[in-house]
Amino acid sequence: MSGEVLGTITLRVQRYRPDADEAPHLVDYEVPWGRDTSVLDALTWVKDHLDPTLAFRWSCRMAICGSCGFVLNGTPRLGCEHFVRDYAPGPLVVEPLANRAVERDLVVDLEPFLASLERARPWLVPDPEDPPGEAGNRQTPEQMLAYHDYAMCIDCLLCYAACPQVALAPDFLGPAAITAAVRYDKDSRDHGSDDRLPALDREDGLWACTFVGACSTACPKGVDPAAAIQQAKAATAAAWAAEFLLPRRGGRP
C-alpha cells in the first residue's frame, strides 16, 4: 500500500474450499488503509502479508475487465473502484458474488454464465446475400448510438448477483446475456436476430424477468439491462404477433 496510512479496518472475508470445508466461514483480517486504498488493494495486502492462500480474481484494476466482482457489505460491487475509506471504521464484509457456485474463497464458477452467453449468440451475423466489401460495413454515429450503451457491458456478473430471479431460477438466461443479444439485434450490420430468438423467447429466457430492476442498479457501467430486457420482450411480442397475423410471412405455405 502506498501513501499515508490513515487507519486500520477489519476485513471480514468469506473463506471456503469445497474440497476441505464443510461450509463457508468468515475470517477477520486487520488491514491498514489510506485515502486511495481500494477494496482490491486491501485484499491484495492480505494475500501478500497475512495469508497467501486467499483466492480471488483481478486483472486490470481499472473497472474494465470485470474480474474483481465481490459482494461488499451485502451489495455487489467491483473491488477496484470502491475504496476502503468509504467503509471505515468497518468491519467490511467481503463475500463472493451471489447466485454462483463458489470454486474457492471469493472465486465463483463462470461456466454457467459463459454457456448462457453463447446461447445468446453475441456476435455479428452478416447478411449472406450482401457480405461487406473491402471497405467493411460502415455505420453512422446515429446507428452506433442505437446499441452503444449496451455494448459497455464488461461481463462482471454484478447483475447476476443482484437479480432475485437468478436466485429463484438458476437456468434463467440472465441480464448480461440478454443485453448482449439486444446489443447485436440493434446493430445495423447484424442479421442474426432470428437466430437469437429461440434462446430469448423461452420461459427461462426473457419471460423469467419480472422487471425488479436490481440488475440496472448494480451495473457499474450504466448499461441498464432491465431496459434491454423490456425492449426485447416488446420486440419478441411484436414478432410473434406478426407471425400470427401474417402466417404466410417468410414464404411459408
Which grid cell is 39? Answer: 477494496
Question: What pLDDT score does 138 carry?
Answer: 87
Closest CA to 98 of 174, 31, 204, 47: 174
Pick from 6-10, 124-128, 240-244: least confident: 240-244
Contact 39, 72 (CB under 8 A): yes
- Residue ranges of domains in the chain, CATH in brackets: 7-108 (3.10.20.30), 111-245 (1.10.1060.10)
pTM: 0.91
Task: Quick: pLDDT tens for 120-152.
Answer: 999 999 988 887 777 778 899 999 999 999 999
3-state secondary structure of 224: coil
